[in-house]
Structure 1
Amino acid sequence: MAEAKSTHTIKKGETLSSISDQYAIPTAAIKRSNQLSSNNIVAGESLTIPTSVSANEKELLARLVHAEAKGEPYAGKVAVATVVLNRVDSDLFPDNVNDVVYERSASGHYAFSPVLDGSISNKADSESIRAVEEALQFRGQGQNSLYFYNPATATSKWVSTREQTLVIGDHVFAK
């Protein structure tokens, strides 16, 4: 099970790198969660530590990436995984991968179509697993995308109103 977001009080001699190692969370993710523009930290101040991702959640995320981005370029698979991690790190969404993947809207619809159609249960391929590992390694970097969609198949018009961050293959990413 993933840990909830936690707070870390900086001790004398600690660096962002040592705190990153302690929690197994990339430095960039800690910086992003705390809106830090540099690596300078001060003893006695508190940092919000993003949620860690368990082995089971990595596997779930890889299955989601496989189902959502099958046939898409590798960079698109990494970007899909990154959207989920960005949601975990955002105050607008649940605090762990499982809850983000299975989240329902106010109208009862799942956020991700593979949950609805059952393809989330299919085994992930090695490229999707590798894409999840890369997204985790670079967590906190990138375009801060919280959404992605395929304009040719999207049923929600709302998502197209979001600020577009990039396009990879058939997917548009937005925040």
Structure 2
Amino acid sequence: VQSAGSTLFMGVLSAVQVLLHRYTGQDDITVGSPLAGRDHADLAGQLGFYVNTVALRGRVSGDMDFLSVLGEARRVTLEAQEHQGYPFDSLVEELDLERDMSRSALFDVMVVLQNNDGVDLTDAASGTGLGISAVDTAEGGASKFDLIFIGTETAVGLDLEIEYNSDLYEHSSIER
């Protein structure tokens, strides 16, 4: 059984893959995504940064309907979750790809779903704890990828932000 966040992520991933297919004409679409990296029970209650990046490679063709693309995204995402513990750097090293240090080794597009805003870590017994809020770190900075699609779950749906490499894209292209 998939959580609502996973289902929403697969929908965002599918929409991004369809968009990229439409604009590039490519059928083989690989995007990156961070996974929480907390698949071991001993890590569930710990604070810390356990994120690992996974490459999600999907097939999209012009004759596929959206439900077929969504099914492919589900398959690819579930496979990635099974292997999320494998370090991304080790994968890149093992593949022994010809590297261009000005870009990511496996993908140029990242898809992120933020579904942890407003998480309450208050200790119910003592009434003390931590609060979590989003911090915008991209303001005025350079994008690490050609495109980053950042979906944020809200009480009423999904907000989508697109971060882009301004050396490659005009603002009007991104808005379109």
Higher strand share: 2
* TM-score normalized with structure 2 length: 0.29
Higher helix share: 1
Larger Rg: 2
Pick 1 or 2: higher relative contact order, CA cutoff 8 A, min separation 6. Answer: 1
